Amino acid sequence: MVMTLRHLVPKTVIIGAGGFIGKHFLNAYRQTHSDLIGTTRAELDLLNPDIRALRLSENHYKEALILAAIPNIDRCEQEKGLSTKVNVTGTLQLIRQLADEGIKPVFTSSDYVFGGNAGNYKDDAPLCPNTEYGRQKAEVESKIGEITNGNHLIIRLSKVYSHVKGDATMIDEMASCLAQGKTVKAAYDQVFCPTFIDDVIAVTAILQGNGITRTVNLCPSKRVSRYDIAKALAEKMGIDKVHVDKISLDDMVFRVKRPKDTSMRNDRLTGILARLTNYHFTDISESIGIVGGNWKK
């Protein structure tokens, strides 16, 4: 990936470089420009964003990847005022400042812009969020075009996971529970398109490097349920399937009800990748094998 990235990616500042996805991007994109900066809340607070001190144009930045956010579903609902300030008002202010400076924003959205009643949502499907988090993402999606005059990219992500042991991303968290002899509750009707972090980075680099604009559902084609993942993981780890409790999402107690089927179709991305590269997403079964192996006794 090093060579590919070096040749592809325009100089990109990482906004929100201290978070899970941000740390991975900063590491990878520093291979393209070793002096690349990533901001944490200390350098750029979305409650009052001001990009002047970053001296982006002066340092030849062309694009900005916006990963900073309050992404916790329950927190967005409980702290609606604060999360709206960060995820909507501040994010739109940041996008306006970037656009004024001629820097293309790459905004990270979510499959939660969809309500989850239908699934298989296309890139241009009407937005129909049913959580506050999803509504906030949808508001930025709907306003970004006018601010940037179309010079932006929205990458819409499903659940992102890594292969790193102990980072508590989706498969790792399940594997850790199973390894401790606990039972994992997994909903058969919570369906989505989990995506490996390295694929998110490589595909974003391809999209940026080829000047793609507008919205792309950035995920593999495969839709799976949480139950599918937990069951396959238990099998890989040699753990009795009684430790995977097959439930409905309706039986789970959440502060905020989760959407059921937020799976997305990746038609636009498939077309772009077929035209430009022979890139293939990591199959989730491979990831289940690797993460299961991390925790197998």
Ligand X SMILES: NC(=O)c1ccc[n+]([C@@H]2O[C@H](COP(=O)([O-])OP(=O)(O)OC[C@H]3O[C@@H](n4cnc5c(N)ncnc54)[C@H](OP(=O)(O)O)[C@@H]3O)[C@@H](O)[C@H]2O)c1
Binding site for ligand X (CB under 6 A): 16, 18-22, 41, 44-47, 67-71, 86, 108, 110, 157, 159-160
Nearest residue to ligand X, scored by beta-carbon proximity: 19
Closer to ligand X by Cβ: residue 45 or 245: 45
Is the Cβ–Cβ distance between 283 and 222 less than 8 Å?
yes
Which string of DSSP letters, residue by residue, matches 89-118?
A: IIHHHHHHHHHHTTPEEEEEEEGGGS-SSS
Closer to ligand X by Cβ: residue 215 or 239: 215
Taking the complex as a whole, how short is the minimal distance between the CB of residue 123 and ligand X, in angstroms?
Answer: 15
Closer to ligand X by Cβ: residue 86 or 239: 86
Closer to ligand X by Cβ: residue 47 or 276: 47
Gap between the Cα atoms of 201 and 14, Å rounded: 12
Taking the complex as a whole, how short is the minimal distance between the CB of residue 139 and ligand X, in angstroms?
Answer: 13
Gap between the Cα atoms of 228 and 242, Å rounded: 14
Query: Which amino acid is residue 169, in one-letter code?
Result: T
> Residue 32: CB partners within 8 Å, gap ≥ 6?
5, 6, 8, 9, 11, 12
Is the Cβ–Cβ distance between 156 and 110 less than 8 Å?
yes
Is the Cβ–Cβ distance between 198 and 251 less than 8 Å?
no
Closer to ligand X by Cβ: residue 15 or 233: 15
Taking the complex as a whole, how short is the minimal distance between the CB of residue 278 and ligand X, in angstroms?
Answer: 26
Closer to ligand X by Cβ: residue 15 or 177: 15
Q: Give me the residues paired with residue 156 across strands.
A: 109, 217
Taking the complex as a whole, how short is the minimal distance between the CB of residue 232 and ligand X, in angstroms?
Answer: 19
User: Two tokens at 185?
Assistant: 């509750």
Taking the complex as a whole, how short is the minimal distance between the CB of residue 242 and ligand X, in angstroms?
Answer: 29
Taking the complex as a whole, how short is the minimal distance between the CB of residue 124 and ligand X, in angstroms?
Answer: 19
